[in-house]
Structure 1
Amino acid sequence: MKDEKKEISRREILIGTGKIAAGAAIVSVGAAGLIAPRSSKAAQFPWGYTKLDVQHVGDIAYEEWYKNFCCQAVVTGLIKPLQQKMGEPYASLPLDAFKWGHGGGVGWGTLCGSLNGAGMATGFIAGPEGEKIINDVIAWYAGTELPIYKPASPKGNFRNVNQSDSPLCHISVGKWMEKEGVKFFSPERKERCARISADVAMKTASLLNDWADGKYKPAHGSNVKDNGITTQENCMECHGDKVPTPIT
């Protein structure tokens, strides 16, 4: 009788252990299901493109700047319409992941966040071909009096536009602030950067539309090939007579 009880107890333990293991497996599979991408198919890279309404892209970017600043504003202006038009894989892309690019990279004043955003969005869309497009956008940004964009319902006003001659946030915004006579956290500066984000998103969308039509032709050459070193166009402005030069 004792042996029978032992056998029953042993059997119950084994069955109970099996139930626990099965439950753990179900939980594990369930958790994996929760974090799995929405599409079971692996996304081919690049993700592709369909032509966008350039004005609509700019309007989205302008509004988004006041929520998450320049980098995320431009990514959102370009990617959000593609999420709506094309679905996956764009639909699963978390746009909040791009906020870090504001202020030239969390305020470090390097490449303007709007250009960072344009470059990342163009990378998803066109892959390596996108490099020529963002190169042209950067050259346009540095050589154009901005902002151009005029919102239907402005959140602020300012007097001046300026040509930065540089893709760097620090130089671009610094020159404009001096010209406008305002501080960085002023409403005028915020409005200026929101509109420039719209400008960059719109310029990028315009070039991408040409690319989609097979009409895009790169306009700007390679700074590295032209100068033998990574560079922008106005070295003397920051370096004075201490410009780094390549060894020849």
Structure 2
Amino acid sequence: MMNVNRREAMGKIVGFAGMAAGAAVMSQSVFAADGCPIDGAIGVGSDGGADLGANLLTYVELDPFAVAKRAYAAYGRGGCMYGVFDAIVKELAIQGHDDACNFAAIPTNITVYGGGGVKGWGSICGCVNAAAMIVNILDVEQTAVIDAMNRYYEKTPMPRGDDNFLTKIGAPTRRDDAGALLTADKISQSTAHSILCHTSVTNWSAASQFGGHHDAKAERCAQVTAEVAFKTVEFLNLSLNGELTIDPELERYAKNNDECVSCHTGTTREPGAYIGSDVNSKMECQTCHAPHDEIGAIPHHAEESCSTCHPK
């Protein structure tokens, strides 16, 4: 593997950053022009899990604030998934270590699709999607880091909104209808109780009283993007130093699931022994599914169109 200095790596990054967002296919001449080896340049392999595990990239300790600042700015260019992924990859690429060239060769705009819970579908939040994507190619405790990040996102009031953090990432930058900056007291906080985009945004909208198409939502999501990038790097740094533990308040296993998994867990049952639906999930169940004894009549507004009360 070649060694590259910081200036060389940054030159490679600038070349890729200038490409149009969403352009995921690159010619071999692009790699060749930048002096990186083509065969095996990005050590993720193409032969499935075994090959991937044998070709992980080296993680080096990063400054969480530097990554968070990049992520906040990148949100405006490509959304939440792009913001987290682009920030971590580019910081790794400028560190001048043996794998810097490999990180510089990654076209980070392949992650633009993840915004809005995958092109507006409201599924997995692009922030945690990006965190898992970068962790997946690093030589770290992958499951532990992903578990820690997902649980943090699920259980922590966000965005953090403290003055020190906002100053270091350069926030806020967006304004309300009166032209005033959308400060932390206006943005408010909410807890997602889920890693799904639509749940996270819905809970925030209810807490802040801002509509989902207001600039306040963009400011909130930009700050959450920065926070997830920051925490991902913190967890990666701890993993690198063999110090990653899970805060008891952010336990790796959702305790509220206990009464659910006693019946709804993964099994090898066949039709003759089937009892109830099998579930394979670490997410909190009751965020979306009420306990059986709480399931009652259909809500009074169920016959109305969703858009009656929840317009775009």
TM class by smaller structure: 0.7 to 0.9
Q: Which residue of 2 aligns with 1:131?
A: 143
Tell me the secondary structure at the aligned position of residue 120 of structure 2.
Answer: coil
Give the ranges of 4+ consecutive aligned residues of structure 1 lying more than 6 Å apart after TM superposition: none
8 Å CA contact 1:166, 1:232 repeated in 2: no
Tell me, yes or no, if structure 1 residue 240 matches structure 2 residue 290.
Answer: yes
CA shift, 1:35, in A, is: 6.0
CA shift, 1:48, in A, is: 1.1
Gapped regions of structure 1 (runs ≥ 5): 1-31, 244-248
Tell me, yes or no, if structure 1 residue 230 matches structure 2 residue 280.
Answer: yes
CA deviations on 1:111-148 (whole Å, 9 max, x unpaired) are 11100011101112236x31220111010111111001
Q: Which residue of 2 aligns with 1:143?
A: 155
Tell me the secondary structure at the aligned position of residue 77 of structure 1.
Answer: helix
CA deviations on 1:64-115 (whole Å, 9 max, x unpaired) are 0011000010001211111111322111100001111111111111111100
8 Å CA contact 2:171, 2:223 repeated in 1: no
Tell me, yes or no, if structure 1 residue 62 matches structure 2 residue 35.
Answer: no
Q: Give the 3 Å change call, closer, same or farther, for CA 64–175 of structure 1 in structure 2.
A: same
Tell me the secondary structure at the aligned position of residue 192 of structure 2.
Answer: coil
Given residue 152 of structure 1, which amino acid in structure 2 is its aligned partner?
G
Q: Which residue of 2 aligns with 1:83?
A: 93
| Aligned-pair Cα RMSD in Å | 2.5
Tell me the secondary structure at the aligned position of residue 133 of structure 2.
Answer: helix
8 Å CA contact 1:39, 1:89 repeated in 2: no
Tell me, yes or no, if structure 1 residue 39 matches structure 2 residue 37.
Answer: yes
Tell me the secondary structure at the aligned position of residue 235 of structure 1.
Answer: coil
Q: Give the 3 Å change call, closer, same or farther, for CA 189–232 of structure 1 in structure 2.
A: farther
Q: Which moved more, 1:207-216 or 1:111-120?
A: 207-216
What is the distance in 2 between the residues matched to 1:212 and 1:61? 21
8 Å CA contact 1:133, 1:218 repeated in 2: no
Tell me, yes or no, if structure 1 residue 180 matches structure 2 residue 208.
Answer: yes
8 Å CA contact 2:187, 2:220 repeated in 1: no
CA shift, 1:33, in A, is: 5.9
What is the distance in 2 between the residues matched to 1:36 and 1:78? 21
Gapped regions of structure 2 (runs ≥ 5): 1-26, 44-53, 175-181, 266-278, 294-312
Tell me the secondary structure at the aligned position of residue 162 of structure 1.
Answer: coil
Q: Which residue of 1 aligns with 2:275?
A: none
Q: Which residue of 2 aligns with 1:221?
A: 252
8 Å CA contact 2:149, 2:232 repeated in 1: yes
8 Å CA contact 2:151, 2:252 repeated in 1: no
Q: In structure 2, which of residues 81, 89, 95 is the aligned counterpart of residue 71 of structure 1? A: 81
What is the distance in 1 between the residues matched to 2:171 and 2:131? 24
Identical-residue share of aligned pairs (%): 25
Q: Which residue of 2 aligns with 1:117?
A: 130
CA shift, 1:237, in A, is: 3.8
Q: Which residue of 2 aligns with 1:168?
A: 196
CA shift, 1:217, in A, is: 3.0
Q: Which residue of 1 aligns with 2:299?
A: none
CA shift, 1:51, in A, is: 0.4
Q: In structure 1, which of residues 190, 194, 198 is the aligned counterpart of residue 218 of structure 2? A: 190
8 Å CA contact 1:118, 1:204 repeated in 2: yes
TM-score by length of 1: 0.77
What is the distance in 1 between the residues matched to 2:122 and 2:233? 25
Higher helix share: 1
> Which of these two proteins has the greater Rg computed from alpha carbons?
1
Q: Give the 3 Å change call, closer, same or farther, for CA 186–213 of structure 1 in structure 2.
A: same
TM-score by length of 2: 0.62
Q: Which residue of 1 aligns with 2:61?
A: 51
CA deviations on 1:209-230 (whole Å, 9 max, x unpaired) are 111112223554356x963232
What is the distance in 1 between the residues matched to 2:72 and 2:133? 18
Tell me the secondary structure at the aligned position of residue 167 of structure 1.
Answer: coil
What is the distance in 1 between the residues matched to 2:39 and 2:94? 19
8 Å CA contact 1:104, 1:111 repeated in 2: yes
CA deviations on 1:169-202 (whole Å, 9 max, x unpaired) are 1111101111211221110000000000011000
Tell me, yes or no, if structure 1 residue 102 matches structure 2 residue 115.
Answer: yes
8 Å CA contact 2:85, 2:131 repeated in 1: yes
Tell me the secondary structure at the aligned position of residue 155 of structure 1.
Answer: coil
